[in-house]
Every structure is written in structure tokens, then in C-alpha cells.
Structure 1
């Protein structure tokens, strides 16, 4: 590992993030000067460094000798003048513009004229910080992700004033430290947070408007979108105050409604319910835990599958795995507990559904599937809308079933439908009859934001995908996800979401529409 053109690097602020950055630099063989505001803060910083490297030794990721070498490379001080010999100084103080500007005024005074100064920020304008100095051409943004020693992604931000050479040198340093640099322009939220927080905020709005419950939204995004944790668990982990700060910063710059913080989020922050760190946020955190409910084993239901194509085949395969009897003839349908309409073509679906409803016995649950997610039109056309629910399998080979009840669905029918689907081995989540159900209503606007970012030339496909996989722990990046789902399907769902909400942010990005029309992947 190497520091490239930098050999001595200063770090101002030794909280969790600053100490992590200092450790990363020292692990890379660089001499580091760590600065704190007073002796007490400096000792806390020393403690952060010792406990982080100590954990690495315990886990067998670092030898005791290597740990001593790393700590030996970090000189700690409360005197800014000690940064005079540094080639690069990284500021890592709390995310407040006034505080960062004060630090940079001091750095500008004590650092060499040729030194590059970097701000570690997740959402603030690097340009706003740069213009307070006499060297705006040498100011760069670096966004390390927490915990810095572990996370591979670093966003490197150049402003319209920054010399390209300064950005290239910092990106080279990041790469030499074994990290993946993503070089981008100075936009609030950069890549990872701009994409992540629009999605998190939309989940809070979805909960607030009663579309689905907290637990169902979290379960849907884990089981249906393959995410390591649901949006509410993640927001509680990040800290709701931090979420609100990032959203406010992005909204102030973009005026994009997806980043206008949900009133529910703001209310929780005002009440001091900030997530795990305060013991309560979207969830309450205590030692008692939740008792798991015991579920009684029940025989697999008899299921009628109406339609032909990949979805019908997937439903039939699901029934086979669960040991459920599958019927598709009119005689079979008469004895079914559940009939699933799984036709690819909407016209064919209507005709097949009419025939199925005539054959079905009273009390049979009828599940309709549609890409745009609205079940009410199909329900009314059956003549027995009280028996109809909407059904969506985000990944037909997966284990999640999204179930929507319309205003016409009888109260007990949704419960029976959920029970029948659970007996097929599916995790069932419920929501209202709206476009996209839960998974697509949250996932596709996020993917659309990524397509818009790509179309604007703000970042390339590899950088966008790296930001979300390495920075946010997503299993795949958004551009790869769009190509897997298919731009045409993404455009269909986004148009349905836009028609329903008239939110301009949900209109499909022009680049996405172009690729869907051409039948070409984005990459």
C-alpha cells in the first residue's frame, strides 16, 4: 500500500469517523497527525483508535505487532500548527457547515500553500467550504463510509474550482489504501446518499400514509429486494437525526420531493426518538425482545392457475414445492380454495378471469396479478369483487408474496388469502391496492433516480453501482438491477406510479425510456 504523492497526512477530528480515517492512513504506511480541539477530546480520540485496532487484533485481522506499528505512526496533538508539514489534511469534524468553515479558515492559515485540504462530508456542499479559503483550487471532498477501516468505498468530490490534479492525487491515495474511489461532482448527497435517502424517505411516507405496516415494509425489502435490512431498521441504525440532516441538505439544493423529509421522520427527531442510540426510533429497543408466535401447520391448499407464461409456470412450480394440488381446467377450478390469474396479456387475463369466476365455488379467493399493481379494475369486472385480492411475486422464484386488498375486498377474504399463501411456504406482506405494491413502489423510483444520474453524466454506471454495493451493502448496483429487471418493465411500473401520484420525480427518466424503446440494456 502507498500514499502516492502524499507521505504525511493530517486528520482533524478524532470521533468515530476521524479515528477510523486516521487508522486507515496509518495502516497504509503513512505518517499521520491527529488533531482534536482539547485534551479531553484528544484522549477520547486515542480511545477510539485503541479500541478499533484492539477489536481487529481480537478478530485475528491484525497482529499485536502490526497494531503497535499503526498506532506508532499516529502523532496526536491539540495544536493546529503541527499540521504545517502535512501534504494533505482531512477534516472530519461534525456535519455542520459553520464548524467546518471555521476549521478550514484555520487550516488555510497553518498549512503549506501546496497542501491539499479535504473535507469528509456526507451531504454538505464542498464548494461552500472551499470559498472560505484562499486556496479553493486545492479543496477536495472525501466521503469515507462508516466504519472507515472496513468499508471499501470512498467518494472523491471535485468542485468547479478544484484543480483536476488535486482530485486525481486524492483518488490515487484512496486506491493505494486498498479502497475503491468514485470520483464525482459536488452535488448534495453525492451518489450513495442521494440514492439511498430518497428510498428511505419514501418508505417513511409509505408508513405514514397507511399504505403498509413498518414490519411488512421491512420484510418486503429484505425478502423481495434482497437487501441486508429493511428501511426502518436501517434508519434506526444510521440515526434519525442524521437521516433528517442529509434529507434537508439534499432537498435544499434539489427541491426534489423525494427528499422533502417525511413529517413522521421530523416528528420522531423532534421528540428525541433517534433510533438505536436513544433506545427508540421506528422500533423500540429493549432487552425483552419479541416472542415469536407459533404457527399451526396446515395442509397445502388446492390452487387454480389461470393463464400461460413464465408467471403461471412460476406459480405452478411454487405449488408443486409446497405439495399443493394445481388445477387449470374448469372442473378443477370448481374445487379450488384459491384461484390465481397469471396471464401475461391484460385482454387474455380478463377473458380467462371471467371463465374462472363462473367456475369457482362461493368463498374461493381470487388473486389477480398485474404489472401496474391495481387490482380494483379487474376485481369489479369479475362481478364478485369482494372475493378478489391483488397478488405480486417480486421475484417469482423467491419466497415473498405481496398481497393487496381493494376497498371492495371483504374483510375476511384478505386474511384467508394471506393464510392460503403462507401455506404455500410464502412470506406474505400486505398493502393497499396501489401501483407497485411495496417492493416495486420503493425499488423502481430508486432505480429511476440512478438512471437519471447516469443520463445527466453525473457519474458513470460502474461508479453508481460501486457506490451502492460498496457504500451501502446492496447485493447489486442499481444499473445492474435495471438491466436484470428490464428497462421496459421498469418504465411500465414507473408510468403507473406517476399516473397515480403525479409526482414529477416518478416519471421515468428519459434515458430509461430511450433504452426501453430500443430494447437495449443500460450497460
Structure 2
């Protein structure tokens, strides 16, 4: 199917970006807004976005004029009558979208494809409100649309054969990478991303670690482009809360229940960057704490002890048989090792995450002075310190392993392939590697064992290792089979 004229309804930041994407590809666009004031704002979005591209040398003046010239702006929906494809980008309220699609169904020619840019609402419910449910799909762009390469192309049980392939081909023409999926709440990216972000809010609320430290663990330790709280502020806490509500409404899983802290912030109107304050205020993260190593003697136990002792020795800290600080490397519970020591107040857990982060783990018996001394030692070694409680997975593994387990369950359900999930998370979230690439790099057995520890402590069903992961570990396989 040829898409020669495309309509975009709703010209906020996202809608204007979508209109720009089509116009950049040489396709004529009709942009529709509710009134003249909103239309002027939409024109402003287009002009500013293409103006920035011009300033950065990504467009010539002639190219910019050609792009803007392909976009016709109007307040009359009837101008969409002969469009081949109409995409809506209005607020994420199902009733609004259903009303719009009912009207578009009346206006547009019978063969027009109607697409919703929803990030989480049910496409099937929107399609069923029209007289052309076979020709209603999801086409979920990511913000900013001119830059982000991913498009989730969402079909329903009603979608006619061949339509998703046609729309995927169109996405490739736009310079995007399509991932074709079915109509589950959140699709791939938000169904995986938002529970991970919500889980971070739960850890913060439970006092496992502090806001800045959780962000540092995931950014510097795991290598994600942003920490969960910085990302929540960017997305908008209200948006995150709404998506979690949609996920919970579909699954009734406690994994998808919005964190009370998230609800409280939204109720207070602290929505992130859009209001100037969310988890962070406008000033951003606080300066890193200045730790000092007041240590005369140290002992290190656990897997990797020799390497850490050598690093401490090179930094001028000597191992001692009568230490004032005992470091326990490896997995928890640290308390089980601490109580075997003559003075458990001097025992601190150390969990190294990647090459740059040390989680410094205090038990209920660890003295504040001891924890501070251990943090100072790790700082001397050039590591970013993440103080945390003695909980399963500490910070990074607790968040990451549960997140990866969600991806395994998604694939095992038949919803999306390994390649589709990895592609979606790399392109949609800027991950350096997809979930399955991470799993195989970390080691399937290590992730499986970490999940078992999480489940044993929290009894949260979603923390139990996905059966497919258990089976691969039992079979001794190091990687997931690809079809």
C-alpha cells in the first residue's frame, strides 16, 4: 500500500515530531489541531525543531523550507478525508481517543489506515469503536520522534493480513526500525521499562538505598544511559503513574502496582522536569558525599578477595590480622558472615558492580563509622560508592535481574522475539545492550541464582526465575536459542 498523504492529529511535541518525520521523508502531511492557538503552538514546535537541525548542520536552509512546505496545518478534521494514513497523538485518555477515532472513521475514506501513537492503551478497544477495525493499528513513535529510531507497530486480533507489513515498510522508509508486536499493555518498551523504574521507587521508599546512589548504581555500574529517577523525571511522573496503572489493570500483578511514593509525588504535583521538581529539583543530583578512609588495618574475605587486597595494598592500605575493618565480598546475606566475627559491627559487605561502582553494604549490626571507613576505602580506589542495606540483590542486581526476568517472560510467552526485544530496548531506551545480550554477558546461572535469592526474600512471584531461564541453566546452556 502506498502512503502518499498522511494526517497527524494533535501537534504537541510528539505529534509535531511525527509530522516532521513524515515530511522529512518527502510525504505530504496534514497537521490538525483543535483551535488556532494550539495550531500556532504546533507550528512553533515544527519551526523550532527544524531550526535546531539547521543550526547543527543537519539540514540545509533549502531542505528545511521543503520540509515545512510539505506540512499543511488546519483546524478542520474534514481536511483528512483523502489521507492514506492518519495518526493521532492526543493525550493518553482512552475516552478521548475513542471519540476521535469514531469521528475519523466517519471522515476518512474506507481504505484509510487509522493509527494511534498510544504508548500503553489498548489498541483493540480503539479499533472496535470504528467501522474499520481491520485497518486500525498502533504506530508508537518515541520522543523526540525526529531523533529516536524505534517505532512499535502494534496489531490486534482484528488487523487485516498484510497491513502490519505495509506499515513496517513505511517505517523503514521513514528511517525508523519497526518492531511488530501484539496488543498488550505497554507493548515491549514500556512493559519492560516502567516496572523497572517503579521497582527503583519501591527500593527508595523501603530505604534500601538513596535516590542519587540508586541512579549512580544503574548508570555507572550497569551502564544504562540514565538512572531510574532521572529518567522518571524526564518521562514525567504522571505519565509513568498512568502507564503503571494501565499495566496493573491488565495483569493485576504486584510487579505492576504503582509505588506509593510515585502516587504521592504525582498527587503533590511534583511531576519531574515539566514542573521543575520530581524526584529531583531543578538543581539535579546533590554533590557526591566526601568519604574518608580512617582505617589502620583491613581484612578482606570472599570471592575476589585477593584482587581487592592487591588494589588496597597498592593504595597503601595493608591487610591485618587484627583489623578495624572487615570487608566481605560477594553476595548476601552479609549478616550471616558478620555474626561469625568477634565484632560484627566492623563487618561491611562490598559488592562490585561493573568496573566503577562499589555497593557498600551495612547490616543491622554495622556501625556508621565502619560503613563510612569502607566507603572511604572504595573512594580511594577510584570507585563510586553506593551505600545500601543488606537486602537480596542489593541495588543494581535487584533492579537489573528482575528487569531481565521480565524480558525472558515476555519472550517465553510468544509475545516478541529475542531480537525484537533487544532491538526495542536498545533503540527505544538507549541501552548499550539488549536484555538478552546483558543476560548472556552476566551469565544465565548468575542471574537465575540472583532471582532465586530475591524470591526467597520478598516472596514476590515475578521475582521467581522464568521457567525458560531455569530450564536453560539446568541444561547447561550459556545462551538463549535463536529461531
Q: Same fold (TM over 0.5)?
A: yes
Taking the aligned partners of 2:2 and 2:307, their CA distance within structure 1 comes to 56
Instruction: Kindly indicate whether the alpha-carbon contact (under 8 Å) linking 2:53 and 2:59 is maintained by their aligned counterparts in 1.
Output: yes
2:348 corresponds to: 389
- Per the TM alignment, residue 85 of structure 1 is displaced from its structure 2 partner at its CA by 1.1
Are 1:323 and 2:315 matched, yes or no? Answer: yes
2:423 corresponds to: 466
Q: 1:126 to 1:390 in 2, by over 3 A?
A: same
Instruction: Kindly indicate whether the alpha-carbon contact (under 8 Å) linking 1:155 and 1:181 is maintained by their aligned counterparts in 2.
Output: yes
- Per the TM alignment, residue 306 of structure 1 is displaced from its structure 2 partner at its CA by 4.5
Taking the aligned partners of 2:209 and 2:414, their CA distance within structure 1 comes to 35
- Per the TM alignment, residue 370 of structure 1 is displaced from its structure 2 partner at its CA by 3.1
Are 1:240 and 2:237 matched, yes or no? Answer: yes
**Structure 2-normalised TM-score?**
0.95
Structure 1's unaligned 5+ residue stretches are 327-332, 337-359
Are 1:64 and 2:57 matched, yes or no? Answer: no
2:207 corresponds to: 210
1:356 corresponds to: none
2:444 corresponds to: 487
Instruction: Kindly indicate whether the alpha-carbon contact (under 8 Å) linking 2:294 and 2:373 is maintained by their aligned counterparts in 1.
Output: no
- Per the TM alignment, residue 479 of structure 1 is displaced from its structure 2 partner at its CA by 0.6
- Per the TM alignment, residue 502 of structure 1 is displaced from its structure 2 partner at its CA by 0.3
Per-residue CA deviations over 1:389-443 (Å, capped at 9, x if unaligned) read 1111122xx0210011111222321111111222222111111111111000110
2:362 corresponds to: 405
- Per the TM alignment, residue 5 of structure 1 is displaced from its structure 2 partner at its CA by 2.0
- Per the TM alignment, residue 510 of structure 1 is displaced from its structure 2 partner at its CA by 0.6
Q: 1:317 to 1:383 in 2, by over 3 A?
A: closer
- Per the TM alignment, residue 313 of structure 1 is displaced from its structure 2 partner at its CA by 5.3
Per-residue CA deviations over 1:353-403 (Å, capped at 9, x if unaligned) read xxxxxxx21x521121233x21111111233322211111122xx021001
Taking the aligned partners of 1:377 and 1:299, their CA distance within structure 2 comes to 25
Taking the aligned partners of 1:483 and 1:291, their CA distance within structure 2 comes to 35
Taking the aligned partners of 1:227 and 1:314, their CA distance within structure 2 comes to 26
2:147 corresponds to: 150
Instruction: Kindly indicate whether the alpha-carbon contact (under 8 Å) linking 1:300 and 1:324 is maintained by their aligned counterparts in 2.
Output: no
Instruction: Kindly indicate whether the alpha-carbon contact (under 8 Å) linking 1:301 and 1:423 is maintained by their aligned counterparts in 2.
Output: no
Taking the aligned partners of 2:127 and 2:374, their CA distance within structure 1 comes to 59
Tell me the secondary structure at the aligned position of residue 353 of structure 2: coil
Instruction: Kindly indicate whether the alpha-carbon contact (under 8 Å) linking 1:221 and 1:230 is maintained by their aligned counterparts in 2.
Output: yes
Instruction: Kindly indicate whether the alpha-carbon contact (under 8 Å) linking 1:301 and 1:424 is maintained by their aligned counterparts in 2.
Output: no
Instruction: Kindly indicate whether the alpha-carbon contact (under 8 Å) linking 2:291 and 2:376 is maintained by their aligned counterparts in 1.
Output: no
Tell me the secondary structure at the aligned position of residue 31 of structure 2: strand
Greater displacement, 100-109 / 377-386: 377-386
Instruction: Kindly indicate whether the alpha-carbon contact (under 8 Å) linking 1:158 and 1:164 is maintained by their aligned counterparts in 2.
Output: no
1:348 corresponds to: none
**Structure 1-normalised TM-score?**
0.88
Runs of 4+ in 1 over 4 A off after TM superposition: 289-296, 298-307
Taking the aligned partners of 2:184 and 2:403, their CA distance within structure 1 comes to 17
Per-residue CA deviations over 1:195-240 (Å, capped at 9, x if unaligned) read 1111100100111111111111111111111111111111111111
Structure 2's unaligned 5+ residue stretches are none
- Between structure 1 and structure 2, the one with the greater Rg is 1
